[in-house]
Amino acid sequence: MNIIVQKYGGTSVESIEKMQNITNKIINKINQGHNVVVVASAMGKTTNQLLKMAESISVNPCKRELDMLMSTGEQVSISLLSMILKEKGYDSISLTGFQAGIRTEGVHTKNKIARVNIDNIKKHVQQGKIVVVAGFQGINEIGDITTLGRGGSDTTAVALAAKLECACEIYTDVEGIYSIDPRVYADAKKLEYISYEEMMEMSSLGAKVMEPRSVELGKKYNVPIYVASSHKDIKGTYIKEFDQTMEQKSITGLSVSDNVLMITVNHVPYSPVNISDVFGRLAGQDVNIDMISQTSPNQGHVNISFTTSKEDESTIDDIMRSLKGKYGGIELQKDADITKISVIGTGMRNESGVASKVFKLFADHSIEFKQVTTSEISISYTIKSKDKLRAVNMLAKTFNL
């Protein structure tokens, strides 16, 4: 069927004029002999505006109703895009996540795709239609509309490409994948290629251009992913399996995230059961934990620190209230004035001394760090937010990013 999946982000569809422009990209692809399945996000800042409306009603709105509310943003986009395509003489149909066969599981506002039934999409494609699918949403096992969390439209697009066994093109407001977010470091280098593994690490550690789960799906099902500008005809970046044609540097990229909340739970009665209880409750609410540290037991108690997303603050507050009720003397501290900086590169597997070099840079520039975690191909540090730009500049120049 020669299908290709194209995904357009919120800035690409934030106005009718911009929608008119991207339909030209879609039509160009059709003229090249492709059938096109389009995945669209909500217009501009629509999702944020909907969230603000909900938060004006409640500090902790019902998450099921939030999903119902937020899913409407993408439905506006897909219906308008489909209308524009029809006006240009191309048969088109818009489909919600449910109509596109996207079944989900998990907790509301953070569902995951469980399976995809592409029969309805294939039927419309075979009829010669451009299928325009609502990103970011699906339906769960009890028939509730669900959303996939921030960046969920990327996941929708890659999941559909995996099932349709085709390539996926992600069109956004940047011109490709950069070594560092150019909004943070203006001289960042654009990458021609990046491996799935490095892109997954960069995304999970704060790079905003791709949603981590989408890259994970791309790697699992070997979906070729191309990231480029929706506004300019400039070559973008290919995300693919590492091969010998790709340059392997010790550090490929730097991720920077301000969306970090550091939680410290003091005076927890020490027991593996109690520690398991704390993190079990967090996992039960799908709170994603990043860095974790624990003090040695002192008089039968420990202090636990971890980092998570600021969006989970109200959920964590609820969990900590219940823990206080159970353990009595525990105390909670929150620090939102921090930034996480991560250096990433598959070359670290074969090159020693990267961590030592970064520690020395921080020492030479009097930059304090609160926590450090490592993986095979990354090292992450939490620092004071005021030191972010200094840290980014020195790391970028040292590692030629």
Residue 91's pLDDT band, with cuts at 50, 70 and 90, is very high
Identify which of 128-132, 250-254, 284-288, 355-359 has the greatest average pLDDT: 128-132
Sorted by where each starts, the structural domains of the chain and their CATH numbers stand as 3-173 (3.40.1160.10), 261-335 (3.30.70.260)
205 exposed, middle or buried (CB, 10 Å; 0-12, 13-18, 19+)? buried
Q: Examine the pLDDT at 248 and tell me if it is beyond 70.
A: no
Identify which of 25-39, 172-186, 307-321 has the greatest average pLDDT: 25-39
Q: Examine the pLDDT at 247 and tell me if it is beyond 80.
A: no
Q: Using one digit for the tens of pLDDT, what is the confidence trace for 36-65? A: 999 999 999 999 999 999 999 998 899 999
How much is the average pLDDT of 321-340?
A: 86
Q: Using one digit for the tens of pLDDT, what is the confidence trace for 262-309? A: 999 888 888 889 889 888 988 888 888 888 888 888 888 899 999 998
Q: What's the CA gap between 41 and 32, in Å, rounded? A: 25
pLDDT at position 329, please?
A: 80
Q: Are 254 and 232 in contact (CB under 8 A)?
A: no
Please give the DSSP secondary-structure letter assigned to residue 310: G
Q: Are 29 and 90 in contact (CB under 8 A)?
A: no
How much is the average pLDDT of 20-39?
A: 95
pLDDT at position 47, please?
A: 93
Q: Are 383 and 258 in contact (CB under 8 A)?
A: no
pLDDT at position 278, please?
A: 87
